[in-house]
Amino acid sequence: MDVVFLGSGAFGVPTLERLAHDHTITGIVTQPDRKAGRGGKLAATPIGQWAAEHLPDVPMIKPEKINTNEARDTIRSWNADAWVIIAYGQYLGSKLIADRFAINLHASLLPRWRGASPINSAIVAGDSVTGNSVITIAKEMDAGAVLAQSTRTIEPDMTAAMLHDKLSHDGPDLIAQVLNDQLNERVQYLTQDPSKVTIASKMSKSDGVVDFNMPARLANARINGLNPWPSIKVGFREESIKINQSKPAGLQSEQPPGTIIDANQGLIACGDGQTIQLLQVQPANKRAMDWKAFANGRAVKEGEQLIGSQLPIKSP
């Protein structure tokens, strides 16, 4: 098939690579280059970088606003049987996608977790299973008809970064399935159930807190679900440290929440009498390290406290 690809984030790179191998890419749309890094130099999106290196002869545009007449006319002039949209970052107007077979890959099992942070939200909520959905484009965000889905188990120690990468590599097969169905005129359109919709709101820096008064299951899910960003910070002695990864320990404790009950293994008491095990931490301005290296370097002792946020955090 002839395919137009619209995307910006790294999540879409594996699918673009697969599409370029199996089909003909007639055009690529990505977000404009932005300043990045300490030097503030302009940097292309992950899609823009990959396409410039691997598809230098394919037309690529980077419009500030995709729904202008100029951008719309350019994109629609590219001959294509299908448009594939993945983590593009702008709303696609009805005039732009009119009479086009346009499909979007979204990283959740819709209608659960519509919105900007489906991967984070699935982990933070303690979901045991998530996946990808291929949907049509609708006026309401992520509300299109579901054409296909794939599932993936969320392991107890899986961070959002890990799940992002796994789901991104599940995407190519799912998109390939839908394009094949379109070729053979057997695409099925499943309307989403409005009563089952949940919203994955955009994460902010202020979300990077954990309250050890929470049940261990949700404290663990919050730590993993917010790595790499906005990341969880807690106080220890006179410093602030990030907790990058944890897992349920399966042990009970009567110690106050936040208490280190095993300094060697990094076991922390939580509000329901259960514990979590810290796997990786990162002191301020230092590299990430496993808990044991951190504990040995600071002679951590049982009974010391990790100070999380005492603000009430509602369980999802």
| C-alpha distances in Å from residue 247, one per residue of 42, 274, 289 | 38, 12, 16
Separation CA 81–CA 75 (nearest Å): 13
Looking only at the bridges linking them, the beta strands covering 24-29 and 60-61 are parallel
H and E: helices and strands count for the chain = 8, 18
pLDDT of residue 296: 97
Q: Name the pTM for this structure.
A: 0.95
Average confidence (pLDDT) per 10 residues, the chain, 316 residues? 98 98 98 89 96 98 98 97 97 96 98 98 97 97 98 98 98 98 98 98 92 96 97 95 97 97 97 98 96 97 90 46
Q: What is the pLDDT of residues 218-243, one digit of tens each?
A: 999 999 999 999 999 999 999 999 99
| C-alpha distances in Å from residue 203, one per residue of 157, 208, 225, 316 | 20, 9, 11, 14
Q: Where are the domains of the chain?
A: 2-200, 205-307
pLDDT of residue 169: 98
CATH tag for 2-200 (out of 3.40.50.170, 3.60.15.10, 3.40.50.1370, 3.40.50.1000):
3.40.50.170
Q: Which amino acid is at 110?
A: L
pLDDT of residue 315: 45
Sequential DSSP letters for 185-222: T----B---GGG--EEPPP-GGG----TTS-HHHHHHH
Beta bridge partners of 247: 277
CATH of region 205-307: 3.10.25.10
